[in-house]
Amino acid sequence: MIRALPILLIIVALPGCRSEERVDNVLARLVPPDSVSLFGARMDQVKNTPLYQKLVVQQKFEQLDEFAANTGFDPRRDVRDLLVASSAKPKSGVLLARGSFHLTSENVAKMKDVRKLSYHGYTIWTNTAQEAGFCIMDPSLAIAGPVVGLREALDQYRVGNRSATAALLAKAQAVPMQFQLWAISLGGADFIANNMPDSGNAANFRKIFHSLDNTFFQADLTHGLNTMVQGSCRTDTDAKNLGDAMKGLIGFGRLSVPDSQPELLRIWDGIQVERLDKTIKVTANIPQELIDRLVQLFGPGSGPQKGPTPRKWTGSSGAESHPQESKPLPR
């Protein structure tokens, strides 16, 4: 029996080794009880992707470099795991982070217009209006956002009761681990609509997002972009309108590709829209070489771009035609 003990220990330990949690256990304790959505980013994995290397590592950000030099904290280097929890209220998102946070009071004092606020033994550093701020809870844990949200997160952490957020966290655990970016929601998707423009074409999507009951998003940046977005509308009409609008945008995107860059058509070809009753699903699979091309054309340091000449298309008669202007979705 003693000889078999090491084998038994290995058998018991293996399931724990395989079971990596999608939501960090400590961050889960900070999710406010009225949260209806979560957005997560495994920054330790995102940092290794080609897209992050091109957009962040290989670029120079003077303000961020100055902030890092003054405080000793560089979010590009020191953040390991991010979780954003939002309620249905506008601007309610609270950012929760794991990493290496060694900001001292002396470092924070170097920041402009920062005030100190004490709350249940924690120090919240806020702006002069005390509307938003951040709190370094310990050298590996930090939170930021509206002060009201920070207090709710700290209260939740102290109480430790996750019954109000159990369903939300359970849905998050279902996201496969290979996706570095993900988001889920329960109930309405007002948190999306409230952060969208209320004019132009975006206003149409704002109306539809207000009617969504559930949303699900996941993205893998390992070899280009492999992503999926899914949402459940409240009516068949809303689902049809949203699906048609998305297909219309893809069509206009294809028409906007310049004749001199036909390879960019493959980007739009890689986006698919599906509708099943009240559910809308959008998938995108864009290879790395096309992502690199987009970064080259529109990324940091690319310089101002001239508007592309729209692609021309012909009707059944062979005469040159132009696409009709998009119309607002019906109320």
Report the distance separating Cα 154 and Cα 44, nearest Å: 25
Q: What is the pTM (predicted TM-score) of this model?
A: 0.77
> Worst-scoring range by mean pLDDT, 28-37, 157-166, 296-305?
296-305
- CATH topology for 22-164 is Protein Transport Mog1p; Chain A (3.40.1000)
Residue 86, beta-bridge partner list: 37
Structure tokens at 152: 């709710």
Looking at the predicted structure, is the pLDDT value of residue 71 above 90? no
Q: Are 35 and 87 in contact (CB under 8 A)?
A: yes
Give the residue among 156, 182, 155, 160 at the shortest CA–CA distance from 171: 182
List the alpha helices (DSSP H) in 83-233.
105-109, 147-159, 166-173, 190-193, 202-209
91-142 per-position pLDDT tens digit: 778 999 999 988 777 777 777 788 889 999 999 999 888 899 999 999 999 9
Proportion of the chain in helix, strand, coil states, percent, rounded to 5: 35, 25, 35
Report the distance separating Cα 58 and Cα 60, nearest Å: 7
Q: Are 215 and 231 in contact (CB under 8 A)?
A: yes
228-244 per-position pLDDT tens digit: 989 898 889 888 988 89
DSSP string spanning 62-125?
HHHHHHHHHHS--HHHHEEEEEEEE-SSTT--EEEEEE-----HHHHHTSSS-EEEEETTEEEE
pLDDT range class, residue 284, cuts 50, 70, 90: very high
Report the distance separating Cα 35 and Cα 33, nearest Å: 6
Q: How far is CA 157 from CA 27, 32, 152, 251, in A?
A: 9, 9, 9, 47
Spans of all domains in the chain? 22-164, 187-301
Tell how far CA 258 is from the center of its chain: 30
pLDDT range class, residue 283, cuts 50, 70, 90: very high
